[in-house]
Chain A
Amino acid sequence: DIQMTQSPSSLSASVGDRVTITCRASQDISNSLAWYQQRPGEAPRLLLYAASRLESGVPSRFSGSGSGTDYTLTITILQPEDFATYYCQQYYSTPPLFTFGPGTKVDIK
């Protein structure tokens, strides 16, 4: 099975900061990676898929990059509504076993 790790597990940042979250897969997942945002008490929200494709309606301050086993989510100019937990998810496995990373909590400094 493909295992996913994220770093850091949490971070503190200020409005206006640039934030970078890293996700690593235990094997090459060929860009089959999605990022989700979850605010407290809410359902997850899809931000990006195929490592770098922005989901419709998601602000352009969110971007994704990476390849192989290592991927990055970047939030430029952090906004108050961006304080949340972010999860990466691989969907490369065959047969399908869609593994999530453990999450990165972004809170206010």
Chain B
Amino acid sequence: EVQLVESGGGLVEPGGSLRLSCAASGFTFSRYPMSWVRQGPGKGLEWVSVISGRGGNTYYADSVKGRFTISRDNSKNSLFLEMNSLRAEDTAVYYCAKDLLMNADYVDGVLDYWGQGTLVTVSS
């Protein structure tokens, strides 16, 4: 059974930093691209970032480019999101999600499994 469990969320002041983690199990983690998607309070879904299976290719939404860094440790079946220079508008539940298709070096974007999310609140 595929499981994705996010952690690392919390309250942080504007301008601060936070590192999110996602622990994966139930599938061959290194073969699948992984994404982060967020959802602000009462708002819709916003794709944040994606990383290829081997980690060589990463892509970001314009709203987080230059502030957020996605990475993965395939030896530990873990996905990460390093978030710097946080703003109030980054307040959201952050989900990690698995790509439907296996791909070591490219990404597809169809997200077939999602974690339950971790809440990040940026406020003074």
Please measure, in the bound complex, the distance between the C-alpha atom of A91 and the C-alpha atom of B111, giving whole angstroms: 10
Q: How many residues of B contact A (CB 8 A)?
A: 23
Indicate whether B117 reaches chain A with its CB closer than 8 angstroms: yes
CB-nearest residue of chain A relative to B116?
A43
Q: Which residue of B lies closest to A49 (CB)?
A: B110
- How many chain A residues have a CB neighbour from B under 8 Å? 25
Which of B9-17, B24-32, B40-48, B82-90 contacts the other chain? Answer: B40-48
From A102, which residue of chain B is reached at the shortest CB distance?
B44
Pairwise interchain contact B46-A100, C-beta atoms closer than 8 A: yes
Q: Give A14-53 interface residues, CB cut-off 8 Å to B.
A: 32, 34, 36, 38, 43-46, 49-50
Q: How many Å lie between the Cα of A90 and that of B47 in the bound state?
A: 11
Pick the contact of B45: A49, A55, A103 (CB < 8 A).
Answer: A103
Set of chain A residues within 8 Å of B110, measured between Cβ atoms: 34, 46, 49-50, 91
Partner of A36, one of B45, B100, B115, B116: B45
Confirm or deny: A96 has a beta carbon within 8 angstroms of a beta carbon on chain B: yes
B80 within 8 A of A: no
Asked if residues B115 and A98 are in contact (CB atoms below 8 Å), the reply is: no
Instruction: Give 21 CB contacts A-B under 8 Å.
Output: A34-B110, A36-B111, A43-B116, A44-B37, A44-B111, A46-B110, A46-B111, A50-B110, A87-B44, A91-B108, A91-B109, A95-B59, A96-B50, A96-B109, A97-B47, A97-B62, A98-B35, A98-B47, A98-B50, A98-B109, A100-B46
Top 10 A-B pairs, shortest CB-CB distance? A91-B109, A43-B114, A98-B47, A100-B45, A49-B110, A98-B109, A103-B44, A96-B59, A46-B112, A34-B110
Query: What is A's interface to B at a CB cutoff of 8 Å?
Result: 1, 32, 34, 36, 38, 43-46, 49-50, 55, 85, 87, 89, 91, 95-103
